[in-house]
A and B are shown apart, each in its own frame.
Chain A
Amino acid sequence: MVDQPSWDLLADLQLLLEFHFMQNALLAGTLVALLAGATGYFIVLRGQSFAAHTLSQVGFPGAAAGILLHLSPVLGLIGFCVTAALGIGLRGRGLDAGWRGESAAVGGILAFALAVGLLFFSLYAGSVEAIYAFLFGSILGVTDRDVLVTALTAALALLALAVIGRPLIFASVDPEAAEARGVPVRALALAFLVLVALSVAVAVQIVGTLLVFALLVTPGAAAQRLTPRPGLGLGLSTVLSLLFVWSGLSVAYFSPLPVGFAVTTLAFGTYVLARAR
């Protein structure tokens, strides 16, 4: 795409940071990876990967609505995802059954959400590139305002996760004992779903609605296969997530490969290796 990488790391780093769009993408990507890695560990611990999948698809019309209303797409994503998270948390008890649940209702909601996204994009009448960017990710679309929104969201969400982290692990591993000890299990579950929604909302900027799973759930799943210790696992999940984002963005910058392909391939390979161990 631009200059070729030289394997001189310092020079390559200078090349990577040469353009403003790439500075934005790397900055937002780093924040996204920090949040997604940490949240993802809890998602896998709590068996809520399907809720994450559902929330990400609901995000697609959110991003489209954000663009249509001339707001930041991240704001649209946050609005739609958090609303859906509250809905799921308050009503959708069956959702944790996930792909095993095979629910026609959930399938219908997923298809309908994507259809509404299509409608918004056709009303906006923009280029197809905008649709692809929000389905599959892009390294070009992160504006200064998006970086600001991402930074605020990630800081708030990480702070909240740090506060509820310890009781959340307790409530995830042994909900009955936690409830008996006075841990507010239901409130924690709802708060956590909102955090998942925020993570999905910011992660869509980098990998797109359809590929969020690879960044949000796969690092946590691989980390859990590699270590049973929560602290170490949480760290490992975050490191993997950072690695996926940085390598994905670099590959997309230096080669014509799309960022979504790079991130999902890394995630798939890592997961296969972690399982084979």
Chain B
Amino acid sequence: MSHILAYDFMRNAALAGTGIALAAGLAGYFVVLRNQVFTSDALGHVAFTSGLGALVGGVQLLAGVFGGTIAVALGMGGLGGRARGRDVAVGTVFAWVLGCGVLFLSLYSRGRSAAGGTAGVSLLFGSILGLRPAQAVTAAAAGVVISALLLLIARPLLFLSVDPDVAAARGVPATALSFGFLVLLGATVAEAVQAVGALLILGLLVMPAATAQRLTARPYLGLALSGVLAVLFVWAGLVLAFYLPYPASFLITTLAFATYLVSRWGWLW
């Protein structure tokens, strides 16, 4: 272990990965509980487009990813139930958002093809082994802040997610909580893009939570388990990526997916 951590890029990855995974695991538990799996998927697409849009506009990439993702999360919250159930409309809008991302990618890569191409692939599939020290510290700090805020609202949010009607009757501020959670979800997705990338986001956000829900019905235990599993997947993925010639985000996603399959053996047959 000390051998692995002797390398700067591995220390940065472990630091950032731990914070990111903790936030993703905790937020993911509420995502599964509140049926927002495909909202998260959509936010991943938005993160890709807004990151490249920021690069084209000369803004810092992370500022674009965070700003765009949180803004769209709030917009989707405003649409509320109306955005649901319109598969064709949702799919058409997703495709167009990604289409705009491709436009930004081609605008950005013009004249600097190598850098532009790499920026796009990093956004799509993650770049946790390529973080600079400052970026790693920022990512870890943001992860800790998001996790702390999630734990702060965990109790009323659990209540609201499990039984919205009773919670509202008891005076839980439903609208404020829902929007507050969407902001945190947007920030979590923006964080997770750095670790596993926009396309593989569900692997880190949803798989640990879904596994935790299969293993225990108790909410606080499940929440904790989801966070712990996400951190373990990232650590194990990083260690494997150190020794194997495969991409870290592939290893993390595969570990998470395999664990989920084992936890719900019998789903396939």
Contact = CB atoms under 8 A, between A and B. Distances in A.
Contact of A111 (B92, B120, B253): B253
Interface in A105-121: 105-112, 114-116, 118-119
Contacts of A108: 202-203, 206-207, 210, 256-257, 260
Given A111-B200, A119-B246, A91 B268 contact: yes
A11 interface: no
Question: Which one of B93, B94, B95 has the highest number of Cβ atoms from chain A below 10 Å of its Cβ?
Answer: B95
Contacts of B209: 104
Given A105-B267, A122-B247, A128-B120, A214 B92 contact: yes
16 contacts: A102-B35, A107-B40, A115-B249, A115-B254, A115-B257, A118-B200, A119-B247, A136-B98, A136-B99, A211-B95, A218-B91, A256-B106, A260-B98, A262-B99, A264-B98, A268-B99
Interface in B255-269: 256-257, 260, 264, 267-269
Given A44-B88, A104-B37, A107-B38, A128 B117 contact: yes
A132 interface: yes
B15 to A, nearest CB: 23
Contacts, number: 168
A129 interface: yes
A254 interface: no
Contacts of A217: 88, 91-92
Contacts of B121: 128, 131
Contact of A211 (B32, B98, B117): B98
Interface in B104-158: 105-106, 110, 117-118, 120-121, 124-125
B89 interface: yes
Contacts of B88: 44, 49, 217-218, 221, 271
Interface of B: 32, 35-38, 40-41, 84-85, 87-96, 98-100, 102-103, 105-106, 110, 117-118, 120-121, 124-125, 199-203, 206-207, 209-210, 245-247, 249-250, 253-254, 256-257, 260, 264, 267-269
Nearest to B209: A104
A244 B87 CA distance: 21
Contacts of A106: 37
Contact of B210 (A98, A104, A127): A104
Contact of A260 (B40, B99, B245, B247): B99
B117 A129 contact: yes
A99 interface: yes
A135 B209 CA distance: 28
Contacts of A268: 92-93, 95-96, 99
Contact of A99 (B32, B90, B246, B264): B90
Contacts of A98: 87
Nearest to B44: A111
A256 B110 contact: yes
Contact of B92 (A50, A91, A105, A267): A267
Contacts of A110: 41, 202
Contacts of A131: 121, 124
A112 B128 CA distance: 18
A257 interface: yes
Interface in A226-268: 256-258, 260-265, 267-268
Given A47-B87, A99-B90, A115 B207 contact: no
Which 5 residue pairs across A and B have the least CB separation, nearest first?
A264-B99, A104-B210, A268-B96, A115-B253, A261-B103
Contacts of A214: 92, 95-96, 99
Nearest to A136: B102
